[in-house]
Amino acid sequence: MRDRVAELEVENASLRQLNATIHRNVTLFNALMRRSREGALLLSTQMTFLRVAHSVLGYEDEELAGTSFLSLVHPDDAEMFSNTFKRVLEANVKTAVCEVRIRDKQGAWNWVEIEMTDMLDDEDVQAIVLNNRRCQHAAS
């Protein structure tokens, strides 16, 4: 019985150390993303938000989770975005880039360059990753 208790104490100490490491990594990631001028989003194959790691347009994860990315895309740019997304899904390309107008949290349209990467096969990600940044276009 004492051996089992000692074994559990060692296991608990190991789990506490692992938890502290995870906490440090999350804190570092959040600090880096907070200062970043680029956004990172995870979408499902149906173009639904799975996660907003960082938004350059003011959104929080909870505001967009489960909604369609197309709901933020300017109607004139929706077809281009959809076609680019489809190319990535069909594995014709692993990564593709497009520029579209996206509505920010205040309702203004912003030109955004989006790089889409298929990471569906990565068991830690399982999503289409959208790295994005604002472009220097004239206001539309």
Divide the 140 residues of the chain into consecutive groups of 10 and give the mean pLDDT of each group. Answer: 82 82 62 60 94 82 90 96 94 87 93 94 92 72
Q: Which domain holds residue 27?
A: 1-35
Say if 21 falls within a structural domain. yes
Strand, coil or helix: 106: coil
Note the pLDDT of residue 8: 81
Helix ranges (DSSP H) in 35-107: 61-64, 78-89
C-alpha closest to that of 131 among 38, 11, 14: 38
Looking at the structure, do residues 60 and 127 belong to the same domain, yes or no? yes
Note the pLDDT of residue 140: 47
37/55 Cα distance (integer angstroms): 9
Note the pLDDT of residue 91: 74
68/49 Cα distance (integer angstroms): 6
- At 108, phi and psi to the nearest 5? -85, 150
Looking at the structure, do residues 23 and 52 belong to the same domain, yes or no? no
Say if 49 falls within a structural domain. yes
